[in-house]
Chain A
Amino acid sequence: MTRPASSVFRRSGLTLDLWWIPRALILGLLAFVIFGPLTNLLLWTVAERWYFPHALPIDYGFSYWARVFAPRGNAMESLGNSLLVASLTVLVSLTLAIPAGYALARLQLPCRAVILIAFLIPQAFPNLPVYVNVARLFYQIGLNGTVPGVVLVHVTHGLVYAVWIATAAFAAIDRELEQAARSIGAGALRAFRDVTLPLAAPGLLASAIFVFLESLDEFTGSYFVGAPDVNMLPLLLYSAGAGGNYQIASISALLLLVPSIGFMLVVERFLKSDVLSKVGQ
C-alpha cells in the first residue's frame, strides 16, 4: 500500500486515478459477492410478497416472523434442539479435548502427528456414506433419532477443532509457568487448575465456539441420525427452502447467522496469534 501511495507525491494525480479503477472494481465485486446474498436474505425475511420480475419485494411485513416464532411453530423447537445439541456437543468435546490437548501439548507422545491427524479423519471422508453407515449402526443400538445420537455425531465432527485448538492453547503456555507453581508447593492438578487452565481459557473458549458453530451448522449427520425425531435448524432451513418457502428459510438462516457472527467477534478477540501459530503443530 505504501508504494503506490508514495508514488502519488512523485507522479501526477492521473496515475492515482488509473490505479484505482481496477482496484475499485475488484473491491466492489468482492463486496457484492459477500454482501449481495446477505442482502437478499435480509430482504426475504421481511418480504410478504416477492415474485419475478420485481427487483424488490412488493409488500414488506413481519407475518412470517410471527409464524416462525409462534408457540406451535416447529422453528422454535428446531432452534431449541439445535442449541441443546450444540451445547452438549461443546461439553462433550471439551471434556475430551482438554486432557487430550494437554497430553498432546506436554507429553512426549510417540506418533504425536499421527494422533493429531487421526482427529481429522472424520472430515477427510465424504460425509454422506459415513453418516448413512453411522445411521444404520445407531439404528441397531437405538441411538438413531435421539439427542445423544446426534451429539455423538457432532462430537466426532467437532473434535478435530476442539483437540487441535486445545493442543495449541496448551502448547502456547510456557512450561516454566507450571513449574513455578510446582516448585513452591502446588501439586500437578492444583498447578493445572490455578495456572494452566486460566491461561489456556481463551484458546479453549475459541475451540468451544468453533465446535458450537460446527454443531449448529452441521446438516448431513443431523439429517441421517436425527431426522425426523430430532429436528434441527438446518433441517428446517432445508425443508423450507426445498418447499419454496423462502421467508421461513431466510429467517432460520438468519437465526443461524446471528450466533456465528457473534462468536466470530469473540474468537477474533480471544484467539491470540501465539495460540494460532501453534495450531496443528
Chain B
Amino acid sequence: MNDDAFLRITDLSVGYGATRVLERLRLSIARGEFVALLGASGCGKTTLLRAIAGFVTPSAGAIAVAGRDVTRLPPDRRGMALVFQSYALWPHMSVAKNIGYGLKLKGLPRAAIERRVGEIEALLGLSGLGGRKPGALSGGQRQRVALGRALAVDPQILLLDEPLSNLDARIRLKVRHEIRALQQRLGITAVHVTHDREEAMAMADRVVVMEAGRIAQAGTPEEIYNRPASAFVAAFMGAENMLALNGTVRGEHIHIAAGPHYGAAEVPLDGRALASGALEARFRAEAVQLQAHDAPPATEGLALSGHVEAVSYLGGAWRHSVRIGQTPVFADAEHSLAPRTAVRLTIPAEKLFLFNTPSPSGAAAPADDTHPTATRATRPDRVREAAIS
C-alpha cells in the first residue's frame, strides 16, 4: 500500500442480505493510473465499481479519494463519472444535451457548455452528431457519447463498467486503444471493469484479478500473466492445463519426482513460497514444446509423454489435444502431428506455474501475510456463492 494513493479502499465489505459480495477488500490506486478489475461474472468486480461510484452502500470499510473519506457521500458528490455497460444515454435528450448535462448542472453559461461539448465531440469523433437523439446512433457512437458525457465533467476518477462488451469484436479492439490513449492524454485516473483478460491487459497499467469478492492478485499485466499468485489466477489468465505433481523443496530449487508419464525436473523457486508435497502444475498450451517422442529434446524443463488425441487449426498454430495418462492437456505447435502419435511435451521451468495443492484440512497453504490473497484463494472453504455481478 503506497501512501500517495489517490483512491484508497480499505477493508471494504459489501453484502446483499446474507450473501457477502465483497469481503474486507483493500486496494489503492495512484493518480493517473488505469486499473482494470478482472474476473468472472459474480466475482464482485461490478459491485466494487458501484461501491466506488456510490451506488452500493458498503456494510463495512472506507473509500477515500485524495485523503477525503467519501464512503457515505452520495454519488453526485464524489467527483467521479461512471460509464455504464448499457451506456444509459437519455433518450429524450440530443447527443449535445447528453454530453452537456453535467456542465449544465455545474451552472456553466450556455456558451461555455457549447464550447466544451464541441471539444468533447471533436475529441471523440462525434462532430456533426450533436443534434441527433441517442436512438439514431450506432453502438460505437453511443459508447463514445457515454464516454464523452463522463469526460465532459472532468471527473477526478473515471469508472468504466464493461463499456466495450456491447460492441462487436472489431470495433472493440479499436475502442480499447482509443480509450487507453485518451486516458493517458488527459491523465485521468480510471477504474475499468471487464471479464476479458486481453482487454484488461491491453488497457490497464495494473490488473486486479478478483475471485469470490476478494482480490486474487493485483499487478502489472506482465506480472499477472507470467507470475500468477494462485492456481485460480493462472487458470483465469489462460493456463488451463493442469497436472498433479509431487515436489520436494531443496534449497532454492524444487525437485519434481518422476512419475509414470513425466520425467524428474528441477525448477528454481524464484522467490515463490512453495512447500514440499502435492503440487498443482499449470501451464499454457502455447508454452509447451511439442515433439514426436523420439525427437531429441530441444529445451530444458518438465518433460511429459502422451498421445495426440485430436488436432485443430487455430490460425498461427495447431492445437493438439494430448492425453497424459488420464489427464487431457492442450499443446500448440507450428506443425500438426497426427492423432495417436506418441509425443513428448516439454514445459520450460519459467513457464511452469506451481502451487501447493490445498489439503482437505485447509492448512497446506503457508500462512504468509505478505500474500494473503494468494493463499486464501486456494482454500476451497473460502470459495463462496457467486454473487450478483
A residues sitting closer than 8 Å to B (CB atoms) are: 174, 176-177, 179-188, 190-191, 194-195, 198-199
Interface stretch, picked from B75-83, B116-124, B193-201, B238-246, is B75-83
**How far is the CB of A263 from the nearest CB of chain B, in Å?**
23
Determine if B105 and A179 form an interchain contact, defined as CB atoms under 8 angstroms apart. no
* CA A188 to CA B54, docked complex, whole Å: 13
Determine if B55 and A179 form an interchain contact, defined as CB atoms under 8 angstroms apart. yes
- Which A residue's beta carbon lies closest to that of B152? A184
B87-115 interface (Cβ within 8 A of A):
88-92, 101-102, 105-106
Which residues on the B side are within 8 Å of A184 (C-beta)? 76, 81, 101-102, 105, 149-150, 152-153, 155
**How far is the CB of B159 from the nearest CB of chain A, in Å?**
8
Not counting A180-B82, A185-B105, a sample of 16 additional A-B residue pairs whose C-beta atoms are within 8 angstroms of each other reads A174-B86, A174-B88, A176-B84, A177-B88, A179-B88, A180-B84, A182-B54, A183-B53, A183-B75, A184-B81, A184-B102, A186-B105, A187-B74, A190-B105, A191-B76, A199-B92
Partner of B90, one of A177, A183, A188, A190: A177
Shortest beta-carbon contacts, A-B, top 8: A184-B102, A180-B88, A176-B88, A183-B82, A182-B75, A185-B105, A184-B153, A185-B76
Question: Which has the most chain B C-beta neighbours within 10 Å: A174, A181, A183?
Answer: A183
Partner of A179, one of B84, B89, B146: B84
Determine if B82 and A179 form an interchain contact, defined as CB atoms under 8 angstroms apart. yes
Which residues on the B side are within 8 Å of A183 (C-beta)? 53-55, 75-76, 80-82, 150, 159
Chain B interface size, under 10 / 10 to 19 / 20 to 34 / 35 or more: 20 to 34
Q: Mark B122-161, 1 if CB is under 8 A from A, else 0.
A: 0000000000000000000000001001101101000100
Our count of residue pairs bridging A and B at CB distance below 8 angstroms stands at 67
* CA A181 to CA B76, docked complex, whole Å: 8
* CA A190 to CA B76, docked complex, whole Å: 11
* CA A187 to CA B34, docked complex, whole Å: 28
List 6 A-B pairs, Cβ < 8 Å: A180-B84, A182-B74, A184-B81, A184-B101, A184-B149, A185-B77
Determine if B75 and A179 form an interchain contact, defined as CB atoms under 8 angstroms apart. yes
* CA A183 to CA B79, docked complex, whole Å: 8
Determine if A188 and B106 form an interchain contact, defined as CB atoms under 8 angstroms apart. no
**How far is the CB of B108 from the nearest CB of chain A, in Å?**
12
- Which B residue's beta carbon lies closest to that of A198? B92
- Which B residue's beta carbon lies closest to that of A195? B90
* CA A195 to CA B93, docked complex, whole Å: 9
